[in-house]
Amino acid sequence: MPVLRVALDLPLHRLFDYVAEAASTAEIGLRVRVPFGRGERLGVIVDVQDGSDWPLAQLKPAGEILRDLPPLPADFFRLCEFASAYYQAPFGEVLLQALPVGLKRLDPPTRRNTRAAKSTPPVAAPELTEEQAVAVNAIDPAAGFAAHLLHGVTGSGKTEVYLRLIERALAAGQQVLLLVPEINLTPQLEGRVRARFPDTGVVSLHSELAEAARERNWRAAFAGEASIVLGTRLAIFTPLPRLGLIVIDEEHDPSFKQQDGMRYSARDVAVFRAHQLGIPILLGSATPSLESWANAQSKRYGLLTLHERANPEASLPAVHVLDTRKMALQEGVSAALVAGIKERLARGEQSLVFLNRRGYAPVLACPACGWISRCTRCAANMVLHLADRRLRCHHCGCEHRVPKACPTCGNQDIHPFGRGTQRLEDWLKEQFPEARILRVDRDSVKSRKQWEVMLERIHGGEADILVGTQMLAKGHDFPKLTLVGVLGADSALFAADWRAPERLFAQLMQVAGRAGRAELKGEVLIQTEYPDHPLYAALVAHDYPGFAATLLKEREQAGFPPYAFQAMLRAEAPEMADSIAFLQAAAALPVIAEHENILIYDPIPMKMARLANLERGQLLAESYSRPALQAFLPCWREAIAGIKAPSKLRWHIEVDPFEF
C-alpha cells in the first residue's frame, strides 16, 4: 500500500506518514486532509513511497487529496528545504506559511476566477540616461545566475532600470518578482508598474490584502497568468512557473527581515532562489546594506552605480549640519529651521520636519516624587498621546487614561518629558497659524487607504509643512518639497545595537533624498550636538561609499558580520532566572565541543529585558565560517530541545540575527 509523506504546519522537524488506497508520485505537491490527534489537518504531500519507517499497521489512512490546484513544483520544495535548513525552521511550517490562508482550509475551497488585474493606459518611458543604460545592459538574462547591486542616489531613476529589465523579461515570456519593503508605503511604485505594462497581468501579494484577494493573486501567480508579482517579503516563497528575474527595491530595508515565527531574510532567500533557478537578481538601494555592499566590493555581486539624479533639472540637496550646542532652541527647533520653513511658506514650497518618534512625549513624569509612566508589563516607558489622552506602550500595546495627578504622591503638576511628532505638530501650528500642517506617522496613518489619501493631499499641494517619522522617508517623490529638517537623530549614534549607525545613515539619506526631486533645489538641515560625527560628515558629502568603508572596517576589527556569522538563541519565561538558566544549559551542551570554530558567548538579558510580562534572555553563537555554523546549528537545536525547562518557557533560534 502506498505511503504518503506529509508536511504539516507544526513546530516539529519531521514529516508524517499516512497510508493511501491508491496514490503515485504524481500526487507529490498536492494538498491532503489527514487525521491528526483527535481532529483533522491539511498538509502537503512531499513524497509517495512504498513503505515507511513505522509499522504500516500503525499508520492512519490519509483523507481526501485536493485537486483544485496543480501540484506544487519541485523547485518550490527545494526553496522551502533550503529555508528550513538554513533558518532551523520546521519544513512543514516553512512550506505551509507560504500558502494563502484559503488554501490551508480543510474544506475544499470553491474554485475562483483567477483573472489578473489589468489597468490604465501607459505613461511614456523616458530615454535612459547613460548610467541607466549601462545598468540595464549589464544584466544579461541569458547568462544564468548573477547578483547585481544597483547603487543609485535618491532620484537617480532606479525604478526606470527595473522597468526596462521587467520589459525585457516579459518579452522573453518570463515572470518577474519585484519585492518591496512595505507595499503600503509605495502605492506610487505599484501605479508606475501597472501604467507601464497595461496589458500584462500584475498582481500584488502582501499581508494587507483581504484573504480572498490574496488567494486570487497567488493563484494567478502560480498559474503563470500574472507575469509581474509585486510583493512584500513573504512573496519570495510564491511558486512561479516562469520566473526569470527577481528585483528587490530598497534592499537595505529592515522589513525584509521577518522578526517572528520563521525569522528569515527575504533578500537572502531571494539570492538563493535566483541561484537555484539560474536567473539574475537585482538589488537596488541608495544606501545598500553593508552585507550587500561587502559582496559587491569582493566582486561576488556586480556593482552598478547611478551617481546623478535622472531628471537633468534636479540635483542632490545641500545638506547642512546645525550645531545645536551653540543655539537657543524652542521646543527643540532651531531659529535657522524656523527661518527656513518661513521662506518655503513665502515661496509656496513644502517643508518636512523629520522626528522619528511618534506620540506627544516619550514619557510623563512627576517632578515632586520622581514617578515616571512605566509600562507594568515591559521594560519600557509608556508614551504620552495627548490627541486621545492615553498613555500607550509601543512595545506591548497596552494603554491607560492619562492620570490627572501623580499616581504615587498625588501631585497634580505632572509633565511630559521630551517630544514626539504630536507635540512638534502642536508647536508648529502655533508658530505658523497660516500654514497647513500634516502629521504623518503610524497614529495618523493606519491603513493603506489613509496613506493614499495622505499622499494625494501632499502631492496636490494641500500641505505646507509635513511632520513625520520614517514613514515619510521611503521612496516618495514630493516635487514641491524643498526643505527637510532633522530633529532628535543623535540618540541613535550611541545606541547599544551596533547596527544602529548603518540604519540611521540609511534613514537620514532617504529622508534627505525627498528634498529637491524636481527643478526646485533642496536643502537639508540636521540639528545635532555632534556636528563632527563621521556619519553627519558623510551625509553632507553624500558619501555612502566612504561611510560604508568606515563601518566595514569597524565591523572587521570587531569581528562582526559580515566578517562573522551569527545565530542567536533566545529564551523567554515569566522569571528571568529561568530564561538565563535555560541559556546556561544550552551554552554547556557537549555538542558545542564536538564542533570546531564555534564560539558561544555568555547568556545575558535582552536589551529590552521584559516584554508583555515575559523576561527575555539571549545567547550568541558565532563562527568565522558560515559552513561551520550551519553544520553546528541543527545538532545544537536538537540538543537544546532535550533540555528540561519550565513549561512556560519558550525559545527560538534566529540565524543572522538582526536586533541586539
Q: Contact positions toward ligand ADP, by CB under 6 A?
A: 126-129, 132, 152, 154-160, 310-311, 477
**Piece of 228-236, 259-267, 396-404, 594-602 that binds Zn ion (CB under 5 A):** 396-404
Selection from Zn ion, ligand ADP, none that 366 binds (CB < 5 to 8 A by kind) is: Zn ion
Residue 383 or 515: the one with the smaller Cβ distance to Zn ion is 383
- Separation of alpha carbons 591 and 317, rounded Å: 55
Output the smallest distance, CB 397 to ligand ADP, in A.
34
Selection from ligand ADP, Zn ion, none that 47 binds (CB < 5 to 8 A by kind) is: none
Residue 52 or 305: the one with the smaller Cβ distance to ligand ADP is 305
Residue 239 or 475: the one with the smaller Cβ distance to ligand ADP is 475
Q: Which three cell numbers stand for residue 62?
A: 490519509
Output the smallest distance, CB 404 to Zn ion, in A.
12
Q: Does residue 390 interact with Zn ion by CB under 5 A?
A: no
Output the smallest distance, CB 154 to ligand ADP, in A.
5
Asked whether residue 396 is marked as a ligand-binding residue, the answer is yes
Output the smallest distance, CB 459 to ligand ADP, in A.
12
Output the smallest distance, CB 193 to ligand ADP, in A.
12
Asked whether residue 635 is marked as a ligand-binding residue, the answer is no
The pair phi, psi for residue 4, each rounded to 5°, is -90, 130
Selection from ligand ADP, Zn ion, none that 156 binds (CB < 5 to 8 A by kind) is: ligand ADP
Q: Which three cell numbers stand for residue 318?
A: 545641500
Residue 194 or 395: the one with the smaller Cβ distance to Zn ion is 395
Q: Does residue 393 interact with Zn ion by CB under 5 A?
A: yes
Asked whether residue 366 is marked as a ligand-binding residue, the answer is yes
Q: Which three cell numbers stand for residue 281?
A: 537578481
8 Å CB contact between 475 and 185:
yes
CA angle centred on 162, ends 160 and 165, rounded to 5°: 110
Residues 6+ apart with CB under 8 A from 641: none
Selection from ligand ADP, Zn ion, none that 128 binds (CB < 5 to 8 A by kind) is: ligand ADP
Rounded alpha-carbon distances, angstroms, from residue 493 to 60, 76, 490, 535, 548: 59, 42, 5, 8, 15
Beta strand spans in 278-324 (E):
280-285, 302-306, 318-323
8 Å CB contact between 633 and 88:
yes
Asked whether residue 378 is marked as a ligand-binding residue, the answer is yes
Residue 154 or 324: the one with the smaller Cβ distance to ligand ADP is 154
Helix/strand/coil percentages in the chain, nearest 5 = 35, 25, 40
Residues 6+ apart with CB under 8 A from 490: 528, 529, 530
Selection from Zn ion, ligand ADP, none that 132 binds (CB < 5 to 8 A by kind) is: ligand ADP
Selection from ligand ADP, Zn ion, none that 600 binds (CB < 5 to 8 A by kind) is: none
Output the smallest distance, CB 316 to ligand ADP, in A.
11
Q: If 0-12 CB within 10 Å is exposed, 13-18 middle and 19+ buried, where does residue 142 land? A: exposed
DSSP letter string over 416-449? EES--HHHHHHHHHHH-TTS-EEEESTTT--SHH
Kindly identify the residues of this chain, within the stretch 403-442, that bind Zn ion according to CB under 5 A.
Answer: 406, 408-409, 411
CA angle centred on 235, ends 233 and 240, rounded to 5°: 145
Kindly identify the residues of this chain, within the stretch 339-378, that bind Zn ion according to CB under 5 A.
Answer: 366, 368-369, 371, 375, 377-378
Output the smallest distance, CB 289 to ligand ADP, in A.
17
Residue 62 or 248: the one with the smaller Cβ distance to ligand ADP is 248
Asked whether residue 393 is marked as a ligand-binding residue, the answer is yes
Output the smallest distance, CB 311 to ligand ADP, in A.
4
From 468, 461, 472, 435, select the one nearest 520 (Cα to Cα): 461
Q: Which three cell numbers stand for residue 579?
A: 530564561
- Separation of alpha carbons 134 and 161, rounded Å: 10
Residue 313 or 388: the one with the smaller Cβ distance to ligand ADP is 313
8 Å CB contact between 19 and 60:
yes
Which segments are annotated as binding site for Zn(2+)?
A: 366, 369, 375, 378, 393, 396, 406, 409
Q: Provide the binding-site residues for Zn ion, judged by CB under 5 A.
A: 366, 368-369, 371, 375, 377-378, 393, 395-396, 406, 408-409, 411
Which segments are annotated as binding site?
A: 366, 369, 375, 378, 393, 396, 406, 409
